Chain A
């Protein structure tokens, strides 16, 4: 194949680049060449280096070189996970096309697209369509939709790393398998940030034997500067959530010296809290400070984003809501409050500042308790070494498969033999067995195995070999409920006088009484009542408010980061040059070493502490709270087999606590057995309530598979009699249809994703190979203290907690002063 540089398309593009005073990056040229040669592929480059133009221009160039191969309508389909990205991207593409001299139309299609616009598109498809995976599947649910894709030449998948590892990724895989079957010589090009498993990411995106594919990597490295904000004083007995707001004074000069600052918090609750704290500390920021998270009204969010572009805001406090999306030019500083719990997320957030090529991204890390300083040191090290988390692709997600089958049946209908081949080509379903496929078909045509004899179940019918949905009502309900993002029910929050503020979870509102104050979108509001699924509130002048604790806000520590964390700990008392964070923590480390022990990388520390509350065992695997949740239950179960004893448990990202009213005979315990990886699955199943956890996983599965209906069409409002909970259906299936593959999926999701069984097994093996150190500590230690405080949190108000913690700190200081400690090392 010829060199792209000798083609007329290339010279047109080159001229265009020159007219803008730009030079293409080598990786862009490489992707153009590979596209030209007929390859599909995956482009990996840091943000700001023109990833978009690698793929987009490839297609434009191909058109310029081979106009005869193109027909009317859709040429390029651009799949993006984010709605907010679409508009600006479309504008940028449109401008480029105009400058190059093509009169192509660029369309955007997602949940925000007005109906009229959508109808216009389906009458005449634009040349380029920017779409979300969900909207693409909705197109598949239309009559005669295959005609739209007749002249499609390329599908681009933007931010593939964001989709990979989620059910939206599976939706994308299925969509690609269909598009490939509809169009000849379709090129598939993904665009991704760096992740740990980039080869696998390519395998998932393009698993097709007959499609030549390639990886195109940018050699440009993004420079990132990581600065830790060190507290002036270190608390030897740390606790989460306390230190941060004390350090607000150190934030203000950083904000003042920057053009625009993005301040990332991990939860929506935290962002509300910091908004108040910052405004109290620097009242002159009023009007220049905004708050942006998933529960803030969409219009307000858009407005904030515009203000960011125009440099009208000094700082915006946000959550993952601003992790992705269009770059804001004025942003030159990012602050991360509290541990981001993963290297990839941290670097992605850093990249929101100084995003143009060769500029340095600058991120400040503000710890919310002193131990997070170790995390800061670990993050720096991991970032330096370029160790980034993987995104594990999801496989065998029957809920998504069932939804997809019904989607196709609502659209043009499908023939099962050919579709089976198509679906089985995807990475997600490459191990799909014919029996499982048949089950899925029975599920949508007969309702599964228990329902074979019913005539009233007519979801999908088979007519002349074609699976189709006939009922208009079922079709409508399916379209309304299509998608795989399931969130807890949210309620609108409005002023009594009108005026929309945002959304809160129903769960939070259910605990409010009239007169209670809560914070949302940076306002303090007084709860009045709920009416018509809307929370009515008044403005409040109260200074303090509870902040909604949105569920799912807590991120577990990634496996990568935890390995670095263990290493940093083992270096804590090393002589010689130390990271500034570790130097600052010396008093804490010395305390830990003196009254207990600092575990080296190959050591597993167990602390036994006795207090008035009872007998505590603290263990520190440093594997993140999710793994600790299971491990604590597992250890408790195995200990209770040696001697009947019951425990209550608490955990954080570093370790867990088992508390009992009986003494635990440590000498009788064979730790190698208690911490063994043998019989893991069986013992886990006995130690946790797997059925209950599976039931929770089933919530999403039931909605995705269409068993629980969330949205009702106006016309079929009466269908609200269909209201049922996934829990109810879970129980019914458990009793009457336990072989149902959706049930099996729920359990598998529990074991592999929630419990991270493989990670737990690896952790246990690591512990087995190292030394087990048992220490009789006389009082709480720097490591155990935050776990203890966390366990009190759910029962106490924040003021009560504050008082209680002070008291515990004083007591601990006192009892540690007088005793010798005993350390035992076991192999």
Chain B
């Protein structure tokens, strides 16, 4: 689904990314690579299949948009290095035509991960390649139109008989786009309040649906 932010085009994809045609860039956030392995090391059995599926989806995104750049708006890695990250390393080697740029969250910066080895370029915390600026946590008062991650936004669609559906969503305000978390192994945060009126675009299976009713 295409939206315009002050006339700048942005495509919202049900694969939990946005495509910025002007820069031929795919932007995504909160991949949490290695989270599966981190849980396993601590005795909670989560298979890597979850991460495989995430990466497969990302391959599909690359096939679809053929981007020059992949910009990750923070929280690319969950914690320290673990065996799951080797899987990513192997996958990364196959993506020869795409540049990976990481806009670090406060978290990423502290991880002892050798980004160079993974062929990832580290950008400043506020990365501004053009119309949009990319930053992990939303600024309180953005000076420029921002694309952010961090919040893992979700919305609740209420149905009959007290049933409710929770879906990941994009939140778009007059100065910000907040991305859903890319990884399927992430929670949803449904209780946030934006400072200004916002539109919500929910991801229902393979569709992006604009929700009626603005706030919440």
Contact = CB atoms under 8 A, between A and B. Distances in A.
A537 B49 CA distance: 46
Given A728-B186, A736-B50, A477 B42 contact: yes
A679 interface: no
Contacts of A413: none
A98 B199 CA distance: 74
Contact of A689 (B49, B79, B163, B166): B163
Interface in B38-52: 38-50
Most A-side CB within 10 Å, residue of B41, B47, B79, B187: B47
Contact of B40 (A454, A636, A647, A728): A454
A477 B43 contact: yes
B78 A729 contact: no
Contacts of A636: 161
Contacts of A706: 43-44
B78 A456 contact: no
Interface string B24-59: 000000000000011111111111111000000000
Contact of B39 (A458, A722, A727): A722
Given A456-B82, A736-B50, A722 B42 contact: yes
A336 to B, nearest CB: 29
Contact of B46 (A692, A721, A732): A732
A454 B48 contact: yes
B88 interface: no
Contact of A456 (B83, B185, B187): B83
A725 B187 contact: yes
B49 A450 contact: yes
A726 B37 CA distance: 18
Given A728-B187, A732-B50, A719 B45 contact: no
Nearest to A443: B45
A135 to B, nearest CB: 22
Given A457-B40, A728-B185, A633 B46 contact: no
A153 interface: no
B42 A719 contact: yes
A497 interface: no
Contact of B185 (A455, A648, A732): A732
Given A451-B47, A729-B46, A457 B41 contact: yes
Contacts of A586: none
B56 to A, nearest CB: 13
A727 B187 contact: yes
A727 B166 CA distance: 11
B47 A736 contact: yes
Nearest to B37: A456
B40 A447 contact: yes
A721 B49 contact: no
Contacts of A719: 42
A631 to B, nearest CB: 12
A405 to B, nearest CB: 12
B43 A459 contact: yes
A646 interface: yes
A456 B43 CA distance: 9
A448 B187 contact: no
Interface residues of A, number: 42
A454 B37 CA distance: 9
Interface in A732-773: 732, 736-737
Contacts of B47: 447, 450-451, 454, 732, 736-737
Contact of A457 (B43, B78, B185): B43
A721 B38 contact: yes
Interface in A638-679: 646-649
A648 B160 contact: yes
A646 B160 contact: yes
A804 interface: no
B42 A474 contact: yes
Nearest to B38: A721
A220 interface: no
B191 interface: yes
Nearest to B47: A450
A519 B37 CA distance: 45
A234 interface: no
Interface in B125-176: 160-161, 163, 166
A732 B45 CA distance: 10
Contacts of A647: 160
Contact of B161 (A447, A459, A633): A633
Contacts of A458: 41, 43
B67 to A, nearest CB: 28
A636 B50 CA distance: 38
Given A451-B47, A736-B49, A473 B42 contact: yes
A195 interface: no
A457 B42 CA distance: 7
A23 interface: no
Interface in B61-79: 78-79
A432 interface: no
A727 B154 CA distance: 14
Contacts of B42: 473-474, 477, 719, 722
Nearest to A447: B45
Interface string A771-811: 00000000000000000000000000000000000000000
Nearest to A455: B83
B40 A510 contact: no
A474 B43 contact: yes
B48 A707 contact: no
A822 interface: no
A338 B154 CA distance: 39
Contacts of B191: 510
A724 interface: yes
A443 B44 CA distance: 10
A737 B50 CA distance: 11
B43 A721 contact: no
B183 to A, nearest CB: 10
A399 to B, nearest CB: 14
A636 B160 CA distance: 11
A742 to B, nearest CB: 10
A551 to B, nearest CB: 13
A737 B39 CA distance: 16
Interface in A588-642: 632-633, 636
Most B-side CB within 10 Å, residue of A454, A474, A477, A510: A454
20 contacts: A447-B46, A447-B47, A450-B47, A454-B47, A456-B41, A457-B41, A458-B43, A459-B43, A471-B43, A474-B43, A648-B160, A649-B160, A689-B163, A719-B42, A722-B38, A727-B187, A732-B46, A732-B50, A732-B184, A736-B49
Interface of A: 443, 446-448, 450-451, 454-459, 471, 473-474, 477-478, 510, 632-633, 636, 646-649, 689, 692, 706-707, 709, 719, 721-722, 724-725, 727-729, 731-732, 736-737
The 3 closest A-B pairs by CB, nearest first: A447-B45, A459-B43, A457-B40
Given A446-B45, A450-B45, A473-B42, 10 more contacts: A447-B44, A447-B45, A451-B47, A456-B82, A459-B43, A648-B161, A707-B44, A724-B185, A724-B187, A732-B185
